[in-house]
Structure formats: C-alpha cells, structure tokens
C-alpha cells in the first residue's frame, strides 16, 4: 500500500521532504494562482483587454491558470503523478481529446449562429 511518492513538482525545481509537506506546498501554489485570478478579475487591467485569437488576453490568462490548477489537483491531490504512464494516458488523453473536440465544435457553431443573427438577412432559417 504505502508505495513511494514522487516528491518533486515544477520539473524538480521544488523538492519536498515528505508527502505531507508536498500537499501543503501544492496548497500554497493553488492559493497563489487563485489569488492572482481573483486579483485580475477584480481589477481587470485595461492592457489585458486586447483581443488575441478571438478572445481577450485576460480570458486566455484565466483559462491557462485554470488548466495549471487542474494539473496540480490531478497530479498531486489525486496522485496521478504516482500512477503508471499507461493509466495516465488512458485517463488524460481520452478526456483532453474529447473535451477539446466538444468545445471546438460547439463554440464554432455558437459563433456561426451569432453571425447569422447579427448580419444575415434571413434570421431564423439556418
């Protein structure tokens, strides 16, 4: 049962002495990321409102920080770091592929309908 835990995060940049210590370390990391998100969400700096690939830079920052948080929750809290590579891939690749596909297809369609609503002459015939 008590198999060994991998104790380094950030590609070995930070190495913890025990599993308990690693848990608290990850909590600190998640708290920092969340605070940054909340700070940006309250202040909404004007310089980050520029659009980049269809979305505001601020929103890209939010989404990437969320993915960072998701990574640490899965890897360290759910102990994915200690699982075999094959199990990791079964879970992560499947989910990531299907979710990306779903998001792409639905957002594409939503954008298209918005386009029809706002520009086309026939509005309810698409």
Partner 1 sequence: MDTTVVNTGTEGRIWGGGQSPLRASYGKMMMWFFIVSDALTFSGFLAAYGFSRFKFIGSWPIADEVFTHVPFLHGQEHPMIYVAFMTFILIMSSVTMVLAVDAGHHLKQSKVALYMLLTIVGGLIFVGSQAWEWSTFITGDKGAVQTNGGNILQFGEYKTVDGKQVFERVAIKDFAATMPNERVRRERNTGLWYMSESSIPPFTIEEVTKGLEAHPNVLVRSQDLDEHGHKIVLSREESLNQVKNNGKVVVKGANLYVNEYGTSLFANFFFFITGFHGFHVFSGVVINCIIFFNVILGTYEKRKSYEMVEKVGLYWHFVDLVWVFVFTFFYLV
Interface with partner 1 by CB under 8 A: which residues? 1-2, 19-20, 23-24, 27, 30-31, 34-35, 37-38, 40-42, 49, 59, 62-63, 65-66, 69-70, 73-74, 76-79, 83-84, 86-87, 90-91, 94-95, 98-99, 102-103, 106-107, 109-111, 113-114, 117-118
Q: Using CA atoms, how far apart are residues 86 and 91, in angstroms rounded to an integer?
A: 9
CB of 12 to partner 1, least distance (A): 21
For 51, list phi and psi in degrees, rounded to 5.
-80, 140
For 53, list phi and psi in degrees, rounded to 5.
45, 55
Is the Cβ of residue 4 or residue 13 nearer to partner 1 in the bound state? 4
Q: Is 102 left (phi over 0), alpha (psi -120 to 50) or beta?
A: alpha
């Amino acid at each position: 049962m008590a198999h060994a835990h991998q104790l380094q995060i950030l590609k070995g940049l930070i190495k913890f002495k025990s599993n308990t210590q690693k848990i608290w370390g990850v909590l600190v990391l998640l708290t920092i990321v969340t605070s940054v998100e909340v700070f940006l969400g309250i202040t909404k700096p004007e310089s980050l409102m520029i659009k980049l690939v269809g979305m505001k830079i601020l929103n890209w920052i939010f989404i990437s920080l969320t993915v960072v948080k998701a990574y640490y929750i899965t890897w360290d809290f759910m102990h994915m770091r200690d699982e075999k590579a094959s199990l990791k891939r079964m879970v992560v690749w499947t989910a990531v592929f299907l979710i990306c596909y779903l998001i792409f297809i639905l957002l594409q369609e939503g954008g298209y309908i918005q386009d029809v609503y706002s520009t086309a002459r026939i509005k309810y015939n698409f």
